Chains A and B, each alone.
Chain A
Amino acid sequence: MSIVREDRERHKTFLRRVLMLGCAKGALLTALAGRLYYLQILEGEKYKTLAEDNRISLRLLSPERGRILDRFGAAVADNRDNFRVLLVRELAPDVSETLRRLGQLIPVSDYDRKRVLRDIAKKRAFVPVTVKENLAWEQVARIEGRIADLPGLSIERGNSRNYEYGADMAHVLGYVAAVSERELNGDPLLELPGFRIGKSGIEKFYDYELRGAAGAKQVEINAYGREIRELSRKEASSGKEVVLTIDSGLQVFVQQRLLSEQSAASVVLDIETGDVLALGSIPSFSPTAFDTGLSQGQWDALVNNPMFPLTNKAIAGAYAPGSAFKMVVALAALAEGISPENYTVFCNGHITLGTARFHCWKRSGHGRVNMLQSLQHSCDVFYYNVSRHLGIGKIAAMAERLGLGRPVGIDLPGEKGGLVPSRGWREANIGGPWQVGETLVASIGQGFVLATPLQLAVMVARIASGRAVRPCLARGYRELGQGYGYGVPPFESLNISQSHLDSVLKGMDLVVNDRGGTAYRARIKERGWEMAGKTATSQVRRISLEERQAGVLQNDSLPWRRRDHALFVGVAPLHRPRYSCAVVVEHGGSGAAVAAPICRDILTEVQRRNTAGREALVLENTVPPGLFRRGAL
């Protein structure tokens, strides 16, 4: 076979195969084109969206927290610049050298140095790590001056919360701290690093208003999350400024005055408006410590302190009201028709009920007393007698009308409701039927009865005004330079006869301003500023028969925790009550000797300051009813 013929044959096969292969290649290339059509045209929109997601990242801008103002517009909580030194690893050729140089300018502890090196190792090279916070201005200046020698370092201005009056306002304002794991609710704002939310007090109750709205910036990022450039920005809007009813001057006075005791609380109300003018509770704590972070030791000290510095006792401390409860029983009795002057009881120092004996605080007895005198001298036997006829039901009903037994609804978290016992309550919670003896004990504010200092202040405010005074702490808020007031609701009448109220008030007048009254030594001597009030000393222990026979132990000889609580409730000025005040001194001993002078000083101070008379910060608009906060319950 010649080479040509042979080759021709092979060429024929070859041509056929080339054609087949060519077609296959063509088909496959067409398939690629089809795939491109599918990806780029048919699915193009989907991938465009995915690409945008890849490329554009929404970064939240943290809003500035609203300030908190007192009733006259003075800032009691605001934001302070918090200068921080940040270190970016990729900009620092030698991290330890940079830190060493920084250490020559400001103190950098070994602990800080180790923490920075550890953080830096964990985070990506362009993520800033905080080296030091809360720099003094002079430290900032020193670093700024040498910034060229400190590659990788930069100074950033952040915010931290500043409380003008520190511990004196801590129980009212509360504090802010970093968001904890279980507070996360899906709001991305809460997940911003360094974001703070209110954890107690006004900061917590009005957290939503104070927080403001986050802004956002759209940034183009690369695959590593580094910002390349900013595409758009919507600034954050700072939070509302909450305007309080508190008179910060009075608040500081109250807090300082209470410091004569170990553990005490006091509430000052404006009877007409329900404004809480001061809310004192000691011991207190430093609110800024929570913002910057507490050490474990500091936290343990706060939590384990037997005087509970973190508890706002003015709203969350429930105490047996003792003799302060006698006004309630008196009003209930008057409503039943007894005469304040002509109805009398003979007090020989005790009353016997079956086999049990109920003692008056005065062993020798008060002799024959009417209602006014029973208040003036705080005679227990009078109330034992009256309450037997009234029964617990009527007493409890009157107590509830005066604001006891359930939270009054102040705008603070954690308010306690105290306790006004009833037959039903006893059966449900203790078991067994109500005992008459328990009515007797309740009538002098002992036994099951519990009330908070706030409730006691509300109670006397209601007695003084005859209206259902409800306290509140926020007058309104300010936003973009405009004030919005929540307004003062007309408190409805309690439907208690004015003559009954006058009688009780007369009794309270006698307590303080009559030579025989229990608080005569604590009267206000300034003319026109006189107060009326009621002392109370409530037992926290049961006095046994043996002890009574051997002579009741004096408070001085008892350990602190077993001493009596000293209480006083008062209103002033007497001729036209405007302020009500309750003082509770835990284990303070005698209400007349310990609590009454404190109340006198506070009510003197509030009248000296003329807190209710001076014009408060003007809130020109009224918040629509839907946003009405008063009486939130």
Chain B
Amino acid sequence: MAGSRPICYPPPAGETDQEGASLLQKFWQVNWGLVLLILVVSAVGLAMLYSAANGSLDPWALAQGRRLVLGLGAMFVVAFLDIRFWFRFGYLFYFCTLALLVGVEVMGSVGMGAKRWIDLGFFQLQPSELMKIAIVMALARYFHGISTGDIRRSSLLIVPLLMVTVPSALVLRQPDLGTALLLILASGAVFFCAGVRIWKFALATGLALASIPIGWQFLREYQRDRVLNFLNPEKDPLGAGYHILQSKITLGSGGLFGKGFMEGPQSHLNFLPEKHTDFIFTMLGEENGMIGAIALLLLYGLILLYGMAIAVRARNQFARLMAMGLTANLFLYVFINIAMVTGMVPVVGVPLPLISYGGTVMITILVSFGLVMSVWIHRDIRIPRHGVPPWFGDGI
């Protein structure tokens, strides 16, 4: 196949088809600046976990480090795979994940309590986490095939809307409000970038707001408590409002410069709950102050900029939408987590990517970065609107 260029258009001057590029060539194509940023943020995370364990690698930092190495490996594997591979298998990936999600739903209802994961031995796979990638990929694949003109047709939105609602409803049933919200919002970003008219978003938002009273009926008791406590955390400072209040106290007491690494009394004396998972940002804010917290925000901001720049630079709609969707996903993680621990939104149980302790999220995020890098490495590949050219089938 090498050498043949049976594409129905001549590639613009100066562009090269990366098909057949060697692994070494791809290696040099990797966006090392992005990798560096990821490593820096991950290192901050490991340091915070070390501090959370009162200056010990056990029980969190070391385990998280191992996952980081594993995740980085996965990231590079994903990055080096051809973008057309992901294009081709986008739907398959989505449906497999959906099947897994239904699977845990069935097992979960048979087994005890809310079981959201499948034990793979070395780590526990949460299909809902995988779905965050799969849905973005599937939607990007779908919108890739819609022309600028067709995008105005509302009937064409029925299929992608279903693609979002089904997994979201399943996740919501688990119940995992945070993940469901992330799925919907990340999907929204893909819809938005695909060019869906803005008034339709306004309509959807309006409908969502209108359905809050109905949705309230379906919330579990603890979810309602969380919302109520968000609205008035001082109501029951030692009960359910404890998390938010203690988080604000911990964060606020950090001041401008913080209390120093491993010196945060609030976190180390266990006033701060979940300090190694969802509330790790609070601990960071206590120990490193506003300076440290804003520095971390800037790092995330840079990563987001990289992601968006990569999306803009890509030459096919699938890659662009996927990069934007995954970047939006990362943004949502960061924003919802920090807004939650600072008391701006209710506690919804969203971890801070690359920092919070937890395997699945780490893998999900690094695989997402792998896909974004794959977009970058294969940025000049064009894919026809109606699918991968037949020759690609055996070109992989």
**Which A residues have a C-beta under 8 Å from some C-beta of B?**
2-4, 6-7, 9-11, 13-15, 17-18, 20-22, 25-26, 28-29, 31-33, 35-37, 39-41, 43-44, 46-48, 50-51, 54-55, 220-224, 228
CB-contact partner of B265 in A18, A37, A55, under 8 A: A55
Q: Is the CB of A55 within 8 A of B312?
A: no
29 contacts between A and B (CB under 8 A): A3-B9, A3-B382, A3-B384, A6-B148, A10-B147, A14-B317, A18-B193, A18-B311, A18-B312, A18-B324, A31-B344, A32-B335, A32-B339, A32-B342, A33-B294, A35-B344, A36-B251, A40-B289, A41-B256, A44-B252, A44-B253, A46-B252, A47-B248, A47-B252, A48-B252, A51-B271, A54-B266, A55-B269, A222-B270
How far in angstroms is the closest Cβ of chain A from B327?
8
Residues of chain B within 8 A of A48, CB atoms compared: 252-253, 255
How far in angstroms is the closest Cβ of chain A from B347?
15
How far does the alpha carbon of A29 sit from the alpha carbon of B335 in the complex, in Å?
7
Given contacts A41-B256, A222-B270, contact A7 B294 (CB under 8 A): no
How far does the alpha carbon of A222 sit from the alpha carbon of B148 in the complex, in Å?
60
Cβ of B285 within 8 Å of any chain A Cβ, yes or no, is: yes
Within 8 A of A (CB), among B326-341: 328, 331, 334-335, 338-339
- Which residue of A has the minimal Cβ distance to B143? A10
Within 8 A of A (CB), among B309-333: 311-312, 315-317, 320-321, 324, 328, 331
Given contacts A13-B195, A41-B255, contact A21 B324 (CB under 8 A): yes
How far in angstroms is the closest Cβ of chain B from A109?
38
How far does the alpha carbon of A532 sit from the alpha carbon of B46 in the complex, in Å?
97
How far in angstroms is the closest Cβ of chain A from B134?
21
How far in angstroms is the closest Cβ of chain A from B187?
13
Cβ of B293 within 8 Å of any chain A Cβ, yes or no, is: yes
How far does the alpha carbon of A583 sit from the alpha carbon of B71 in the complex, in Å?
98
Within 8 A of A (CB), among B278-299: 285, 289-290, 293-294, 297
How far does the alpha carbon of A221 sit from the alpha carbon of B290 in the complex, in Å?
26
How far does the alpha carbon of A571 sit from the alpha carbon of B193 in the complex, in Å?
113
Q: Is the CB of B269 within 8 A of A220?
A: yes
Given contacts A18-B311, A36-B342, A40-B256, contact A2 B269 (CB under 8 A): no
Residues of chain B within 8 A of A17, CB atoms compared: 192-195
Cβ of B250 within 8 Å of any chain A Cβ, yes or no, is: yes
Stretch among B28-36, B81-89, B113-121, B300-308 lining the A interface: B300-308
Residues of chain B within 8 A of A43, CB atoms compared: 252
How far does the alpha carbon of A41 sit from the alpha carbon of B269 in the complex, in Å?
23
- Which residue of A has the minimal Cβ distance to B383? A3
How far in angstroms is the closest Cβ of chain A from B317?
6
Given contacts A32-B297, A36-B342, contact A7 B252 (CB under 8 A): no
Q: Is the CB of B251 within 8 A of A40?
A: yes
Q: Is the CB of A36 within 8 A of B293?
A: yes
Given contacts A13-B195, A33-B294, A222-B269, contact A47 B331 (CB under 8 A): no
Q: Is the CB of A22 within 8 A of B265?
A: no
Residues of chain A within 8 A of B251, CB atoms compared: 36, 39-40, 47
Cβ of B249 within 8 Å of any chain A Cβ, yes or no, is: yes
How far in angstroms is the closest Cβ of chain A from B3?
21
Pick from A13, A17, A40, A222 the residue with the most CB of B within 10 Å: A40
How far in angstroms is the closest Cβ of chain B from A209?
40
How far does the alpha carbon of A223 sit from the alpha carbon of B252 in the complex, in Å?
18
Cβ of B189 within 8 Å of any chain A Cβ, yes or no, is: yes
How far in angstroms is the closest Cβ of chain A from B238?
10
Cβ of B358 within 8 Å of any chain A Cβ, yes or no, is: no
Residues of chain A within 8 A of B148, CB atoms compared: 6, 9-10, 13
Residues of chain A within 8 A of B316, CB atoms compared: 7
Q: Is the CB of B339 within 8 A of A35?
A: yes
Residues of chain B within 8 A of A18, CB atoms compared: 193, 308, 311-312, 324
How far does the alpha carbon of A602 sit from the alpha carbon of B316 in the complex, in Å?
118
Q: Is the CB of A26 within 8 A of B269?
A: no
Q: Is the CB of A50 within 8 A of B249?
A: yes
The 9 closest A-B pairs by CB, nearest first: A47-B252, A51-B253, A222-B269, A13-B195, A40-B290, A223-B270, A39-B252, A44-B255, A48-B253
- Which residue of A has the minimal Cβ distance to B282? A39
Cβ of B385 within 8 Å of any chain A Cβ, yes or no, is: yes
Residues of chain B within 8 A of A6, CB atoms compared: 147-148, 385
How far does the alpha carbon of A107 sit from the alpha carbon of B240 in the complex, in Å?
46
Given contacts A48-B253, A220-B265, contact A39 B192 (CB under 8 A): no
Q: Is the CB of A221 within 8 A of B385?
A: no
How far does the alpha carbon of A28 sit from the alpha carbon of B269 in the complex, in Å?
32
Q: Is the CB of A39 within 8 A of B256?
A: no
How far in angstroms is the closest Cβ of chain A from B259?
9
- Which residue of A has the minimal Cβ distance to B269? A222
How far does the alpha carbon of A228 sit from the alpha carbon of B189 in the complex, in Å?
49
Residues of chain B within 8 A of A15, CB atoms compared: 312
How far does the alpha carbon of A55 sit from the alpha carbon of B252 in the complex, in Å?
14
How far in angstroms is the closest Cβ of chain A from B366?
21
How far in angstroms is the closest Cβ of chain A from B280?
15
How far in angstroms is the closest Cβ of chain A from B98?
26
Residues of chain A within 8 A of B305, CB atoms compared: 22
Q: Is the CB of B290 within 8 A of A36?
A: yes
Residues of chain A within 8 A of B147, CB atoms compared: 6, 10
How far in angstroms is the closest Cβ of chain B from A219?
11
How far does the alpha carbon of A433 sit from the alpha carbon of B223 in the complex, in Å?
82
- Which residue of B has the minimal Cβ distance to A47? B252
- Which residue of B has the minimal Cβ distance to A224? B270
How far does the alpha carbon of A510 sit from the alpha carbon of B273 in the complex, in Å?
90
How far does the alpha carbon of A220 sit from the alpha carbon of B264 in the complex, in Å?
13
Other than the given A3-B8, A224-B270, 9 more pairs (CB < 8 A) read: A6-B385, A18-B308, A21-B189, A29-B300, A32-B342, A36-B293, A40-B255, A40-B289, A44-B253
Q: Is the CB of A25 within 8 A of B331?
A: yes
Residues of chain A within 8 A of B246, CB atoms compared: 54
How far does the alpha carbon of A59 sit from the alpha carbon of B311 in the complex, in Å?
60
Q: Is the CB of B301 within 8 A of A47?
A: no
Q: Is the CB of B301 within 8 A of A40?
A: no
Q: Is the CB of A51 within 8 A of B270?
A: no
CB-contact partner of A40 in B252, B300, B312, B334, under 8 A: B252
Residues of chain A within 8 A of B269, CB atoms compared: 54-55, 220-223, 228
Q: Is the CB of B317 within 8 A of A39?
A: no
Given contacts A3-B384, A21-B189, contact A36 B294 (CB under 8 A): yes
Cβ of B239 within 8 Å of any chain A Cβ, yes or no, is: no
Q: Is the CB of B301 within 8 A of A29?
A: yes
How far does the alpha carbon of A44 sit from the alpha carbon of B254 in the complex, in Å?
7
How far does the alpha carbon of A39 sit from the alpha carbon of B321 in the complex, in Å?
36
How far does the alpha carbon of A145 sit from the alpha carbon of B382 in the complex, in Å?
85
Given contacts A7-B316, A14-B320, A40-B254, contact A55 B266 (CB under 8 A): yes
Residues of chain A within 8 A of B253, CB atoms compared: 44, 47-48, 50-51
Given contacts A3-B8, A36-B342, contact A47 B249 (CB under 8 A): yes
Q: Is the CB of A40 within 8 A of B285?
A: yes
Residues of chain A within 8 A of B311, CB atoms compared: 18
Residues of chain B within 8 A of A46, CB atoms compared: 252
